[in-house]
Amino acid sequence: MVPVSERMHTLGASVEFSGVGAHTGRVVRVVINPSDAGRVVFRRRDLDGLGVEVDPERAETQSCTLLAGEGACVRTVEHLLASLLMCGVDSAEVTLDGEEVPILDGSASPFVEAVEGAGRRPLRRDRRVLVLAKALFLDDGAASISLEPAPDLEVSYLIEYPHPAIGRQEMSLRLDGKSFKERIAPARTFGFLKDVSKLKALGRARGSSLENTVALDDTGVVNPPLRFPDEFVRHKILDLVGDLALLGAPLRARVRALRAGHALHLRAVRALQRGREEFFPPPAA
């Protein structure tokens, strides 16, 4: 008999929210519906329900994580995907009437609260758990990411910015629903005022504001207070979890990222996708 804890789960009820996209600057309405399909899929309501699959091979990085489909894309999916993964929701249909998931307050907390409020229900499907069989290491100059076999998801992340409000920050933790909700989900996205003009010229950051982004000028934080003294590295961990969610199943591994970002996260996820080993139920630790 398959343990109840290893069944797939979907939402207990639909969840709805709306807000501005950080990059497009457009207001988008999102509805997350329960689904028995066994996976998370996005649908563009403004494009006759055209679907966009959650797949590392369809992902791109453009100051966010973007999923591209046939004739459609959905951008800034990382906070929502991280929340669904860490709240134990394996299957859902996300419909939206635009191309970008709203940034809300810049963190994953609103998504977590909404998903928890809807509850979960089990599906008559076995839950896949991805267990790393061998170590993986990727680098890009001074940036690197490594993954080693482990019985749980453990993350260590180090960032270094030549800025007085950030400097060198490092955090390590074992990630589960509780630690994610309390220690990672509240961390907001951040950006530098000196980059705003260049980003907007590229069609990005048009919806970023002091209400959804921790803004930094040359000397400090423009819109204090921070939610954590090390909020910056915590947000990097949030982005990493969202990118790992592209695998479509929970990963058990020890992940260490040094000065990484979406591009290196995606390289690692694609490498895992192409050579991954699936176990169900998971092997004994």
pLDDT tens-place values along the chain, 285 residues long:
233 347 999 999 999 999 999 999 999 999 999 999 999 999 999 999 999 999 999 999 988 999 998 889 999 999 999 999 999 999 999 999 999 999 999 999 999 999 999 999 999 999 888 988 889 999 999 999 999 999 999 999 999 999 999 999 999 999 999 999 999 999 999 999 999 888 888 888 899 999 999 999 999 999 999 999 999 999 999 999 999 999 999 999 999 999 999 999 999 999 999 876 544 444 444
The pLDDT of residue 275? 78
> Residue 12 — φ and ψ, nearest 5°?
-80, -20
pLDDT, residue 276, reads 62
Q: Supply the DSSP string of 44-67, one letter for each residue.
A: EGGGTTEEEE--GGGEEESSSEEE
Residue spans per domain, the chain? 4-126, 129-279
CATH architecture label of 129-279: 2-Layer Sandwich (3.30)
Selecting among 9, 23, 235, 262, the annotated active-site residue is: 262
63: alpha, beta or left, given left = phi > 0 and alpha = psi -120 to 50?
left
* Residue whose tokens read 């839950």: 127
Pick from 214, 215, 212, 176: which is nearest to 194 by CA?
A: 215
Q: How far apart are CA 216 and CA 232, in angstroms?
A: 11
Specify the 3-state DSSP secondary structure of 254: strand
Whether 262 is a known active-site residue: answer yes
Q: Domain 4-126's class? A: alpha beta
- Could you tell me if 153 and 29 are in contact, meaning their C-beta atoms sit under 8 angstroms apart? no
